Chain A
Amino acid sequence: MILVEIISWIFIIAGALLGVAGGIGIHRFPDFYSRLHAVGITDTLCASLFLIGLVMQTGMSIASIKLCLIFILMFFSSPTSSHALADAAFLGGLKPQLDKDDD
């Protein structure tokens, strides 16, 4: 029992750290398209680790079913909204800063 608690704490703390890393990332990266990748961190692994940790805390109950539903919803909706943003920016004429030097 205590093992599950410790594992869930590790998951939640890792998720929190990843969230802060993503938050720093959207200030660190230079243009819109690269910031999308930083937000990708907070949308995928950070949210997943948080929700898995919370499911471990609640155990088998209605709450964990709902947490799993949030997980599924985020899993399907976050790439869709990322793609919608990138697509709208691209069609709106926003040019990415590309790295052209070598290669």
Chain B
Amino acid sequence: MNYPVKHSFSLGVILLALWLGMSGKFTVFMLCLGLASILAVLYIAHRMDVIDREKFPAHVNVPLLRFWLYLSREVVIANIDVVRRIFTPGKSISPQMFELPQTLKTDLSCVIYANAITLTPGTVSVNLNKESITVHSLSKEAMKDLCSGRMASLVPEDYKDE
């Protein structure tokens, strides 16, 4: 199980793609500079011990894509809702704070879920522990939406530790 080597390699490939995309100059001198900086970053990452068991981000699969599609639709709907509440005169909001029980197994899917809650305007995850997420929501409807567990069921879960 030599994951450090494998993951250093994939990190290097991603950094190379990033560098080529950012620089746009392909002379020999610039390519050498890029290679040197990538090697330096790999060395520093190795020293900092940040290349760990977590797979490097390039694991895009079908459930994740489906989750992103669902998430972007939710973000648009929630944005329209919050804008409507801003321009409704009078008292248009009913803030709620509640504990949302969560049963996701791995830390990573838990973090993805909490970040997705925060990304949709109208709900913000305030605190996070193993059993529950404390959520502040702008309205009762958003609270009921979250409690129905539709979003939680779509979070991709098959991130196993190698």
Contact = CB atoms under 8 A, between A and B. Distances in A.
A touches B (Cβ under 8 A): yes
Nearest to B22: A66
B82 A25 contact: yes
B101 interface: no
- Nearest first, the 6 A-B pairs at minimum CB distance are A40-B121, A99-B94, A79-B118, A62-B24, A45-B79, A25-B86
B83 A18 contact: yes
Contact of A86 (B79, B136, B140): B136
A36 interface: yes
B115 interface: yes
A51 interface: no
Given A37-B121, A44-B119, A87 B82 contact: no
B83 A99 contact: no
30 contacts: A18-B79, A18-B83, A21-B83, A21-B86, A25-B83, A31-B95, A33-B95, A34-B138, A36-B136, A37-B138, A38-B82, A41-B82, A41-B83, A41-B121, A62-B24, A69-B22, A79-B118, A79-B119, A82-B124, A83-B114, A83-B115, A83-B124, A86-B125, A87-B127, A96-B95, A98-B95, A98-B96, A99-B94, A99-B96, A103-B140
Interface in A6-61: 18, 21-22, 24-25, 28-29, 31, 33-34, 36-38, 40-41, 44-45
Interface string B93-127: 11111000000000000000011101111111111
Among B76, B97, B118, B128, which residue has the most Cβ atoms of chain A within 10 A? B118
B141 to A, nearest CB: 12
A66 B18 CA distance: 10
Contacts of B76: 45
Interface in A54-96: 62, 65-66, 69, 75-76, 78-80, 82-83, 86-87, 90-91, 96
A40 B86 contact: no
A46 B119 CA distance: 13
A14 to B, nearest CB: 10
Interface string B132-162: 0010101010000000000000000000000
Interface residues of B, number: 34
Interface of A: 18, 21-22, 24-25, 28-29, 31, 33-34, 36-38, 40-41, 44-45, 62, 65-66, 69, 75-76, 78-80, 82-83, 86-87, 90-91, 96-99, 103
